[in-house]
Amino acid sequence: MSPAPLLQLRRLVKNYGGVRALRGVDFDLHAGEVHALLGENGAGKSTLIKVVTGAHAPNEGTITIAGEPVSGLTPTSARALGIACIYQQPALFPDLTVAENIGLRLETASATRRVDWKARRERAATLLARIGAAISPDAEVRALSMPEQQLVEIACALGAGARIVIMDEPTASLTQKEQHLLFAVVRELSKSGVGVIYISHRLEEIFDLADRVTVLRDGESVGTHPVGAMNEASLIRLMVGREVAQIYPPSESAAGEVVLALRAVGCAASGVRDVTLEVRAGEILGLAGLVGAGRTELARVLFGLTPADAGDIMLNGRSIALRSPQDAVAHGIAYVPEDRRRHGVVLEMPIAHNMTMAIHRRLFIGAWLRFGAERSLALEFIRDLAVKCAGPDAPGGSLSGGNQQKVSLARWLATKPKLLILDEPTQGVDVGAKSEIHKIVRRLAKEGLGVILISSDLPEVIGMSDRIGVMGGGTLRAILPAKSDPHAVMAAALGTTEKGAA
C-alpha cells in the first residue's frame, strides 16, 4: 500500500463576496516530489497557496496533511504542520545577520531567556551547509544577493522541520547561474523527502525541474499530468483554454526613417560607453545581453534618468540633450520600466489616474482637473489594450500582472511618443497576457512607432525583434538580423564574436 500524500486537497472552494476564486480544486503532493502549479494570472494559484498556508479559510472542501484531516488552519498551525512558503521577495530583516534572522524564526521568545549566540550561529551554519549555501551566519542580510536571501529562507524552512515547501515565482529576478543554484537546492530538498510545490510562469523551468504539473484555469483544476507526458503547446492549451498559435506575431511593418540615432554615447555614472546604434520608425530593436550588460542602464540614459556625458543623441535628425525625464517626454521618448510595482503602477490609485499620470498638465484647466476627459481617455485605452478590469475607477492593485503592464504602457502611450522603450515588458506575466502584449507592441510598430525592447528572455528577443542589438560590458557588441540563431546571440553577449552590423 502506497503511503498517503503529504498534502491532499479535495473539492476546495473559496469565495470572496460574490466572486468564486476556487471552484472545487483537487490537488495532491507526495514526499520527494516537485509538483508544479501553473495557470494564468487570476486562475486561482495565489488563493490556493493562501488556503494551504492558513492565511485564508476555505468555504468548502477538505485538507489532509500526511493522511490526517485538518481544519481551522492558521499560519501558525500550518508552520507547526511543516508547511513553508518561499516568496519571490524574501521576508527577512535586512539590518540583522543571517543567524539572527534564522534565530527569530526558530526560537521561542521569552523575557527571561538569554540568547545563546554561539548555538545560534552554529545552527545557522549547519542549516546553510545542509543546502550547500556558502553564506556566513554573521553576514548582514542587506549584503546578500536575492538568491542568497532565498537560500536563507529555505534554511529557515528546514530548521522549522518543513515537509511541504511552496516556491512562488522564485526565479523571477535571478540570473541563469543563480537559477541553476536554486534548482540544485530544490533537487536536494526532494531527495531528502521534502515535497515542493513550484509556481512559475517560465515553462522551461517546469520541464527542467518538476515531476508532475497541475494546471488551474478560472479557479478550477483542469488537469494533473506527469511532466514527461506534456509539451509546451499542450501546457499552454490547458492554461488558456485555446491555442496560442503565435506567441511571437510576425512583423507587419517596414522600417521607415531613423527616429533615434546614437553616436558613441556614454555615461560614466552608469557604465554605458561608446554606444552607436539607430532605431527606425516601425521597427522593433531588441536588446539582448547577460545581466549587468548595460541594457537597462542605456534605457535610463535615453530617458534622462542618468544623463549621457559623452557622444551625441539625435531624434529625427536633430541633436538633443536629455537631462531629465521631462526632457525625454518633451522630445517624444517614453519608457516602461522593468519594476512595474515600484515605477509602473501605483497600486492604490485608480486605473484612470494611473493611465493619465504622465499628461496631467494637458488635462488641467487652471487648477482644475478635467475628470470627464481623464475618464474618457482611460476608457479608450481600456478598450484599445483590452485591459480586464472592473472599470477606470478600480485601483491598480486589483489588476493581474499582465493588465498592470497594459496600464503602465497606456500611461506612456498617452504622451504620443515617437520612441517607446520597453524594459522586460512580459516579466512575471502568464502566457496568455504575454501573447496579448506582444500583439500590442507589434501593432504599435506597424503604426510607425520606433520600439526598443529589452528582455532577458532570449526567445522573446529573437521572436519579437526586427534587429537584435547585443550588449555587454556597457557597450554594444553586435547588431544581428531578425531570427538570429540563439547561439550567435549568446556568443555575441559573451564577447566571442566581432562587432557587426545588419
Q: What is the pLDDT of residues 471-502, one digit of tens each?
A: 988 999 999 999 888 888 888 887 764 444 44
pLDDT score at 498: 44
The cell numbers describing 248, all together, are 511571437
Burial of 474 (0-12, 13-18, 19+ CB in 10 A): buried
pLDDT, tens only, 197-224: 999 877 888 999 999 999 998 889 999 9
Signed CA dihedral, 364, 365, 371, 374: sign only:
negative
Query: pTM of the entire structure?
Result: 0.63
With 0-12 CB in 10 A as exposed, 13-18 as middle and 19+ as buried, what is 341?
A: middle
For residues 44-64, average pLDDT = 93
Range with the poorest average pLDDT among 30-44, 280-294, 339-353, 476-490: 339-353
pLDDT for position 73: 92
Domains in the chain, CATH or no CATH each? 7-240 (3.40.50.300), 258-493 (3.40.50.300)
Q: How far is CA 164 from CA 32, 154, 184, 226, 383, in A?
A: 10, 11, 17, 19, 43
What confidence score (pLDDT) does residue 151 get?
A: 85
Q: How many residues does the chain have?
A: 502
The reported pLDDT for the residue numbered 397 is 82
Beta strands in 71-199 (DSSP E): 83-86, 164-168, 195-199
Residues 6+ apart with CB under 8 A from 278: 258, 260, 261, 262
pLDDT surpasses 70 at 109: no
pLDDT digits 0-9 by tens, 145-192: 777 888 898 888 888 889 999 998 887 666 667 778 788 888 988 998
* Contact by Cβ (8 Å): 281, 447: no
Q: Are 288 and 470 in contact (CB under 8 A)?
A: yes
* Least-confidence region, from 42-46, 409-413, 447-451: 42-46
Q: pLDDT by residue (tens digit) across 68-77?
A: 999 999 999 9
Q: State which of 352-361, 454-463, 493-502 shows the largest mean pLDDT.
A: 454-463
Per the model's pLDDT, the better-predicted residue between 439 and 371 turns out to be 439
The answer to which of 37-46, 251-260, 302-311, 347-356 has the lowest mean pLDDT is: 37-46
What is residue 338's predicted lDDT score, i.e. its pLDDT? 77
Could you tell me if 395 and 330 are in contact, meaning their C-beta atoms sit under 8 angstroms apart?
no
User: Could you tell me if 322 and 311 are in contact, meaning their C-beta atoms sit under 8 angstroms apart?
Assistant: no
Report pLDDT for 217. Answer: 86
Give SS3 for 210. Answer: coil
Using CA atoms, how far residue 152 sits from 155, 317, 341, 492, in Å, is 5, 52, 24, 35
Give the per-residue pLDDT at 500. 43
Given this model, what pLDDT does residue 342 score? 62
CA distance 307 to 328: 10
80 vs 431, residue with greater confidence: 80
pLDDT of residue 453: 96
Q: Which of 43-57, 82-96, 344-358 has the highest mean pLDDT?
A: 43-57
| Residue type at position 263 | R
CA distance 43 to 76: 26
* pLDDT of res. 110: 63
Higher pLDDT, 373 or 258: 258
The widest CA-to-CA distance across the chain, in whole angstroms, is 78
